[in-house]
Structure 1
Amino acid sequence: MLPIIFAAGTGDFLYFLSCAPSAAQERESKPLQESIAEVERQVDAIEEEAIAAIPSLLAGSSQQLPALGKMLFFDKNLSVNRNEACAFCHMPQTGFQGAIESINLGGVAQPGSVRSRFSLRKPPSTAYAAFSPPLFYADKPGEAKCSHCFIGGNFWDLRATGLRLRSPTAMQAQGSPLNPTEMALRDPACVVHRISQRPYRKIFETVWGPRSFGIAWPSDVETICKEPNNAPATAIGSETPGPNNTPLVVDLRPEDRARVQSTFDQMAEAIAAYEGSPEVSGFSSKFDAFLAGTAQLTDAERRGYELFNGQAKCKDCHVDPPGDRHPLFTDNTTANLGVPRNPDLFFYHETGPDAFGYVSNPQGEAFVDKGVGDFLRSPEAANEAWKALAPHFDGRMRVMTLRNVDKRPRPDFVKAYMHNGYFKSLKAVVHFYNTRDALPRCEGKDPGEGVSCWPAPENPENLSTNCCNLGLSNAQEDDVVAFLGTLSDGYETTMSPLSPSTRPGR
C-alpha cells in the first residue's frame, strides 16, 4: 500500500514506498495534497450554497433545523485549523463516507485537522445513522429479536450511545469537533465561539432563540482555541478508544458554561436533523423504486435479492422485513465477523509525539481493536453493570446499514469496507462471508490471500457463526454484489408505477 508520513505540525506530505508498486500507486493520479484540497473545495462549495439559501427558508418552517444542520456539517471553521468539516470524512458522493481513494486503498482513516493525525477506523456512513435508537441492552425475553445483545448507538463501537440527548447521532456530532485525531478543538466553548462568528448565526438564533450566544467570552478565547486538543483521553463519539474527559480550558462563569453546553447540544441536534433528512437518508435507491413499483430489477439483481434473503443469510443481520417499504438493512446490533487485521492502517505507525506532543497510539502494531468490548470497559459505558459484559463483546462492531454500500463517484472508484477497511470491494466482502470457514488460513500478503485463503481474525473471540461457509458459486457471489448495487440513493426512473398485479411481493 502507500504508507504516508506527514511532517508533524505542517501541511507538507512526504511519501515513501515500503513495497513494490501497488494498486494504490497505480491508481492515484494526483498527489494526496491535491486530493485533500479538492475535497475541501467541494465542502466549501456545498456550505456556500447552503448559506446562500438562508433567505428562502420560511419562518417557522420545519426545514430550518436540517438546513442549519447542513451548514454546521459542512463548516470547516469548526475545526482547530479551520480546514476540516464533519463532511470531510462523510462526503455525499460516497454515501457519506471517505472520498479520498488513495486513503481508502491504504490507511483508511481520513487525516484530522492536524493533518499528521489519523484515527483508528474507517469513517462509517452518516446516512441512515439517525434511525438508530439510543443504546440499550436487551436481556429480557421478547424484548428484541436477539437476547443478551446491545441494540442502537452510533459508530462502530456504539460509543455514541445517545442516552443523554436521546439521539446517538447528536452525541456523535459532539465528539468529532473535540477529538484530537479529528477536528481537534479543545473545548465545547471553542465550537460555540466559532459558530457565533459564522454567517449562519442568525438562522441558529432563529431556530434556537436569541440567547444562544449570550456568553461573556474571555479576551483570550481565540488564542486558546487555535491550539489543538492534545488530551489523549478525549474520545467521546469518536473512533479512537478512550474516556471523555476533555479539559475545559476556556475560563467561563458558571452561567456562561451552562449556556455553552446548551448551545453545543443544539448544534448537535441540528446536525442530527440534517443527517436524518431526505438529503442524507433519502430512501431513493433503485431498490426503493422497485418496492414502489416504478423500477424492475435485472435478472442478476433479482437472483441476488433472492440469495440475500435466502442462502447468503444476509438478512439475518441486514434485515429486510416483509412489507417494510423503507427497510434500513441493519438490525442495529453487533457482530464479530472475524475480519483479518489491516496492517496498512496509519494508526499503527502513530507511536511518537507530533509537534504538539500528542501520541495517537503508544502501543503501535501491538494494538488490538476490541471494538464494543473496549467501549464497555471505558468510563463512557454509562452503566456500571455493562463492564462485566465486555469480554462477551470483544471484537464485535456495530452492524451498519447496507444502504449506499456501493455508492461511489465513478464505477471504478475504490471504497474500503468493514471497520478497518480490510476489504476493498464488495466482491471481496461477499467472498469472505461465503468462504471464511471453508478456506484455509494463511499469513497476510500470501499470494492466495482473499481468494483461496484468509488470514486469521484480528479478534478470534465471539465470532459470528451464522455464516461463513455458504456454498455460493462465484456467479452467485456476483449476483449478491449486483443486488447490493441497487441500494445506492439517487436513482432516477422514468417508469410509470406498475399495476398491482405486477408489483413486487415480499
Structure 2
Amino acid sequence: MKKKRLLLLILAGVFTLTLAPLHSIAAQSGEGLTPIQQLGKYIFFDTTLSKPVGQSCATCHDPGSAFADPEGGAVSQGALQSRVGERNSPSVSYAAFSPQMYFDPKTSPAIPDGQYKGGLFWDGRADTLEEQALQPFVNPLEMHNSDLKQVFLAVRQSDYANLFRQVFGQNSFEDLDYASACIGQAIAAYERSAEVNPFTSKFDYWKKGQATLTDTELRGYMLFTNTTMMGAKCANCHSVSANETVAPSLFTNFGHQNLGVPGNPELPFYFLQKPLNPAGTNYIDRGLGDFLRSIGVPEELAAKEDGRFKIPSLRNCAITAPYEHNGVFTTLREVVMFNNTRDVPGAGWPAPEVAENVHRHPSMDRTFGKLGLTDQQVDDIVAFLGTLTDGYQP
C-alpha cells in the first residue's frame, strides 16, 4: 500500500486511486439525512467506541464548535486522561471537499518548486474521509483502541446495529474487514452531508443577495481578495470562488505550506513520556515531510517538505480557536498580525518551529510577513472572517 501511494505521489499531478464505494450513497435530501448518513451520525456521536468508553468523534469535533474541539485547548485530550494529541484538532466541516493528495508542478514566484495539495489531517496522510475516519479509533493518543476489532464489536452490540445491517446487508457483521470499512464509509457519508457542510454563513447569504456586509466587513473582504501589492493577498492561499452558485468558496487552495509558525511552548504533548514522545521537549513536528518519509519518499525530497502543513479552510474560523497545527495562536487577530508582520524587524515573533522551507519573498515588500497592513486593516480582515461562520439568520 505504501509503495503504491509513494509511486502515485511522486508522479506530479497524478491523483491517488480509490476503490468504488461499498454502498452507493443517496443524494442528500432537503428533508434530513439519508440512512447511511444517519448511521454515520450515530457512530460519530457514540461514546462507547473508545477504550475506556467516554470519547466519541464528536468529543473533539463538536457541531457546536463547527465540528472542531469545543475545549479550545492547543490539542485534544485522549480517551486516557493522561494522553493528548500532538496537533490541534481541525474542523471536520468542509473536509469532504479536499482532493486526494497529489503534487501540483505549477510554479510561481511564491511557489518556485511546485506544491503538494490535498489529503486529510494536517499532514495530508489520509486520502479519503473513509480512510481518515478510522484512524482516530486506533490512535493511542486519541480513542485508544488496540485494533478495529474492538470498534467492530461495540458497533455490533449497539442500538443502531439493525440500521447498520439495513444499510450494508444482513451479513455485514460476519466479516471484520468488511464491517470496518463500512464503519468508515458511514462516518464519511455523514461528514459529506449538508448537516456538516451547510454553507449558511453571512458570506453565503451576502453572495446570494440576502444579507448586507457592514462597512468594516466589506473593507475586510476587499483586502482579503485583493492580490495586488496593496492588498492582503489572503485569497492566494485561501481561495474565493469566481461563481458561488457553481462552486461555493472553500477558502483554501488545499496546498501545504510552512508559514514559519513558532513552536508552542505550552504544548502538553512535549511532556508525554516515552515511547509516546521519545523526543520530549525537543520534539519538532515536521508535518508533511515526516509523512512522506513514512511512505518511503527519498530523504532529499521529503526534506523539502519539512514544516509544511495543510492550508485549512477558513470557514467557521472565528469559532474554532486556537490556530495553526500546534494551536500556538489563540485569536484570529494574532494570526492576521503574524501574517502581516512576521518579517518586520522588531515585531518580536519567536523563531519558526521548522526553519527550513519557510514561505518567504525576501526581495519583495508588501508580501507575506511584511504586508504593511494598518491596525484598522487588520481589524477589517478579522471582521470579514467573522462572516464565514455558519448558522447566520438573514
TM range (shorter): 0.7 to 0.9
| Residue 376 to residue 74, structure 1, CA distance change in 2 (3 Å) | same
Q: Which residue of 1 aligns with 2:105?
A: 139
One-letter amino acid of the structure 1 residue matched with residue 374 of structure 2: S
Aligned ranges 1:158-237 → 2 under 5 Å? 158-160=124-126, 162=127, 167=128, 169-214=129-174
- Code of the residue aligned with 2:391 in structure 1: it is G
1:98 touches 1:110 (CA, 8 Å); kept in 2? yes
Write the mapping of 1:421-436 to structure 2, written as runs, cut at 5 A.
421-436=327-342
The structure-2 alpha-carbon separation of the partners of 1:139 and 1:212, relative to structure 1 and needing over 3 Å to count, comes to same
Partner SS for 2:38:
helix
* Post-superposition CA distance 1:398-430 (Å, at most 9, x none): 00000010126xxxxxx2111001101000000
Q: 1:385 to 1:113 in 2, by over 3 A?
A: closer
**What letter matches 2:311 in structure 1?**
V
Instruction: Tell me, yes or no, if the aligned pair for 2:317 and 2:388 is still in contact at 8 Å.
Output: yes
Q: CA RMSD in A?
A: 2.0
Amino acid across the alignment from 1:266: C
CA distances 1:158-207 after superposition (whole Å, capped 9, x unpaired): 111x2xxxx2x221111000000000111111111110000001111111
Tell me the CA shift for residue 139 of structure 1.
Answer: 3.4
1:401 pairs with 2:321: no
Give the one of 339, 343, 359 matched to 2:265. Answer: 343
Structure 2's unaligned 5+ residue stretches are: 1-27, 361-366
Question: What is the TM-score with the length of structure 1 in the denominator?
Answer: 0.67
User: How do 1:372-411 and structure 2 match up within 5 A?
Assistant: 372-378=288-294, 381=295, 384-385=296-297, 388-407=300-319
In the other structure, the counterpart of 2:120 is 154
Q: Find the aligned partners of 1:404 and 1:429 in 2 and give their Cα distance.
A: 15
SS at match of 1:391: helix
Bigger CA drift: 260-269 or 425-434?
260-269
Q: Check the 8 A contact 1:407/1:489 in 2, yes or no.
A: no
Equivalent pair of 1:404/1:488 in contact (CA under 8 Å): yes
Alignment of 1:77-156 (within 5 A): 77-101=48-72, 104=73, 108-139=74-105, 148-156=114-122
Cross-structure match for 1:479: 380
The alpha-carbon distance between structure 1 residues 293 and 140, as it changes in their structure 2 partners (threshold 3 A), is: closer
Inter-partner Cα distance in structure 2 for 1:262 and 1:435: 51
Q: CA deviation at 1:147?
A: 6.0
SS at match of 2:116: strand
Q: Is the aligned partner of 1:261 residue 2:177?
A: yes
**Pick from 357, 365, 375: which aligns with 1:462?**
357
Distance 1:62 1:92, change over 3 A: closer
* Structure 1: segments with no counterpart, 5+ residues: 1-56, 215-258, 353-358, 409-414, 441-451, 494-506
Determine helix, strand or coil for the equivalent of 2:167: helix
Shift of the alpha carbon at 1:336?
0.6
Q: Is the 8 A contact 2:107 2:114 kept in 1?
A: no
Counterparts of 2:183 and 2:134, CA distance in 1: 8
User: SS of the residue aligned with 2:250?
Assistant: coil
Inter-partner Cα distance in structure 2 for 1:141 and 1:375: 23
Partner of 1:331: 253
Query: Of residues 305, 321, 324 in structure 1, which corresponds to 2:241?
Result: 321
**Counterpart secondary structure, 1:65:** helix
CA contact (8 A) 1:394 1:461 kept: yes
Structure with max Cα Rg: 1
How far is 1:386 from its partner?
6.2
- Output the amino acid matched with 1:330: T
The whole-number CA distance in structure 1 between the counterparts of 2:204 and 2:106 is 34
Q: Which residue of 1 aligns with 2:325?
A: 419
Matches within 5 A, 1:47-66: 63-66=34-37
- SS of residue paired to 2:318: coil
Percent of pairs identical after alignment? 42
Q: Does 1:277 align with 2:161?
A: no
- What do residues 208-243 of structure 1 show as CA deviations (whole Å, max 9, x unaligned)? 1111112xxxxxxxxxxxxxxxxxxxxxxxxxxxxx
Number of positions where the alignment pairs a residue of Structure 1 with one of Structure 2: 351
CA distances 1:245-276 after superposition (whole Å, capped 9, x unpaired): xxxxxxxxxxxxxx211111111111111112
